Amino acid sequence: MGDDDAEDAALVAAMAAGDRTALASLYERHAGLLLGLALKIVRERREAEDLLHDVFLEAWRQARHFDPKRGRVRTWLAIRMRSRALDLQKSARVSRNAGDAGLEVVADEAEVVSPDHARVRTALASLGDDQRRVVELAYFEGLSCSEIAERIAIPIGTVKSRLAAGLGKLREHIGGKR
Partner 1 sequence: MSDVRDLLPLHALGALDADEAKLVEKAVAADPALAAELAAYRDAASLIAAPVAPPPNVKLRLMASIGAGRYERFSDRLAKLFDVTVDKAREFLGLIDRPGSWDERGAGIGLVHFDGGPACAAADCGFVRIDPGCMFPWHKHLGEETSVIVQGHLVDNSGRHFHPGDEYLASETSEHAIRAEGDEPVIFAVRAFNGIEVGGQPHRGRGR
> Which residues here bind partner 1, judged by CB under 8 A?
20, 23-24, 27, 31-33, 35-37, 39-40, 46, 49-50, 52-53, 56-57, 60, 70-72, 74-75, 77-79, 82, 86, 105-113, 116-117, 120-121, 124, 135-136, 138-140, 142-146, 148, 157, 159-160, 163-164, 167-168, 170-171, 173-174, 177-178
Judged by beta carbon, residue 10 or residue 167, the one nearer partner 1 is 167
Judged by beta carbon, residue 92 or residue 160, the one nearer partner 1 is 160
**Which residues, other chains included, contact 26 with Cβ-Cβ below 8 Å and sequence gap of 6+?**
8, 11, 12, 15, 56, 59, 73
For residues 17 and 64, give the distance between their C-alpha atoms in angstroms, rounded to a whole number: 8
For residues 88 and 51, give the distance between their C-alpha atoms in angstroms, rounded to a whole number: 9
Please state the closest distance from residue 98 (CB atom) to partner 1, in A: 17
Please state the closest distance from residue 22 (CB atom) to partner 1, in A: 11
Judged by beta carbon, residue 98 or residue 177, the one nearer partner 1 is 177
Judged by beta carbon, residue 88 or residue 113, the one nearer partner 1 is 113
Please state the closest distance from residue 2 (CB atom) to partner 1, in A: 11
Query: Which of 111, 110, 109, 152 has the alpha carbon at shortest distance from 132?
Result: 152
169, amino acid identity: K
**Which residues, other chains included, contact 124 with Cβ-Cβ below 8 Å and sequence gap of 6+?**
105, 132, 135, 170
CA triple 68-71-76, angle to 5 deg: 95
Please state the closest distance from residue 124 (CB atom) to partner 1, in A: 6
From start to end of 51-172, where are the E strands? Answer: none
Please state the closest distance from residue 171 (CB atom) to partner 1, in A: 4
